[in-house]
Structure 1
Amino acid sequence: MILAYIRPEKNFDAVHEQLQLINSYALTNGLVIDDEFIDYTSQNKRLDERQEVTHYFQSQSGSTLLVSDIWVLTTNMEDLIQMFSCLLRNDFNVHFIKQNVIMSKESSAMLVLGLMDHLRQKLKEESKRSIGRPKGSKSSSKFDVYINEIVKYIQDGKSVSEIARLLGVSRSSLKDYVESRELKQVAFGSLLPKAPENAEEQIINTIVCPE
């Protein structure tokens, strides 16, 4: 099974941005996504409060998991250790798209540690940038809950008018949403940045040790 896991967070990437990367990655690598899970649980929730997603992962042992970035799993370092441990124990292959690396049981310990330190550094940088930033600075839309269906309808060749009728929403509002989120490009185009060479080595080399 190939699974796409998406979790929005106001200070990082919105649903449509994550979905854009995931669909582009899947198209580029000839992967067919079997299921998509959009987790609207707040990033403030700890792992033991996220039973829906933990049960979902446990039920999909041996799957390939596509996530746009490390923080999508969690923004808590303690929870990240537990999630990495459990995903690997359950034979997941986790594709981190922005980092262009795949984590599996066969991965080196240095890669796993590099991914963890990459998140630690990102959270540290984000905490500095977020001072004075208004909450909710990344806009959301009432159509976000339909984004999976909309992309699939576009892939099936349905027009915006047909999709609006199927969803029971305004055609003009839906048209604006599809255009602003570039959902036609998401459905059919490859919008990935160029993958770096030696991506695993780059992740390992970003580890910062205290002086």
Structure 2
Amino acid sequence: MGQTIAYLRVSTNQQDLRNQRYEILEYAQKNNFNIDDFVQIEMSSRKDASERLIDYLFDKLEAGDCVVVSELSRIGRSTVEVLGIINRLVTKKVKLIAIKQNLTVSGNGDMTTKVMVTMFSLFAELERDLISERTKRALEAKKAAGVKIGRPKGATSASKLDGMEIQIAELLQKKVSLTSIAKIFEVSRGTVYNFIQSRKLVT
């Protein structure tokens, strides 16, 4: 039987950290299993998965292990990111237990797990589509109101995407791909990449 690891994540609230630990220990006691290790990550949810040391957690995991979290939001800040981590766990044959959602994702690749991952994929796709639609509506509303999008002609380092910094930053935070962002704004992927780098939208 593999090890059981509790994954804790907080921003700065120590009380929240204690609550997560208590919920997980209480759940383990009620269900007659022990927590072998706690992986505690205290970083801002704005950091990406590797910066939050998710990779460190995966380095500790082997097939047959189990990861316990107090709720799904602890492993990702968006549906897309949560799905990516669940897929990595399933691929590595690691079970995931999310207490608040009363969710157990088996690591053995059975039909129930496949259906569950498919549902997560659909929700992730829906989230991306909704973000795309909101962004398009915002652009159309600005154009209809006569708002000029972008910098004045002749400005240094002008880009077709000038004025869209906030929208693009939101899309990046939601893990929308550069290709998808390019389609939304009807520009090339290279234009999106250069804009993100020059405007320092990635921290």
Q: CA deviation at 1:77?
A: 3.0
Q: How many residues align?
A: 119
39, 49, 60: which one aligns with 2:41: 39
1:35-114 equivalence runs, <5 A: 35-50=37-52, 52-62=53-63, 63-104=65-106, 105-106=109-110, 107-114=112-119
Q: Which structure: larger Rg?
A: 2
Determine the C-alpha separation between the residues in 1 that align with 2:102 and 2:16. 19
- For the Cα contact (< 8 Å) 2:83–2:117, is it kept in 1? no
Q: CA deviation at 1:109?
A: 3.2
Aligned counterpart, 1:18:
20
Q: Over aligned residue pairs, what C-alpha RMSD do you find?
A: 2.8
Whose RCO is larger (CA < 8 A, sep 6+)?
Answer: 1
Unaligned runs of 5+ in 1: 125-211
What letter matches 1:59 in structure 2?
K
- For the Cα contact (< 8 Å) 2:98–2:104, is it kept in 1? yes
Structure 1, residues 108-130: CA drift from partner, whole Å, max 9, x if none?
Answer: 33323555749x99xx9xxxxxx
Determine the C-alpha separation between the residues in 2 that align with 1:73 and 1:64. 14
- For the Cα contact (< 8 Å) 1:58–1:90, is it kept in 2? no
- For the Cα contact (< 8 Å) 1:46–1:79, is it kept in 2? no
Give the secondary-structure state (helix, strand or coil) at the position aligned to 2:42: coil
What letter matches 2:62 in structure 1?
S
Aligned counterpart, 2:174:
none
Determine the C-alpha separation between the residues in 2 that align with 1:37 and 1:86. 17
What letter matches 2:114 in structure 1?
A
> Does the C-alpha gap of structure 1 residues 46 and 33 become closer, same or farther in structure 2, counting only changes over 3 Å?
same
Structure 1, residues 13-36: CA drift from partner, whole Å, max 9, x if none?
Answer: 811221121011100011111100
- For the Cα contact (< 8 Å) 1:96–1:102, is it kept in 2? yes
**Percent of residue pairs bearing the same amino acid type:** 22
- For the Cα contact (< 8 Å) 2:83–2:120, is it kept in 1? no
Q: CA deviation at 1:55?
A: 2.8
> Does the C-alpha gap of structure 1 residues 15 and 113 become closer, same or farther in structure 2, counting only changes over 3 Å?
farther
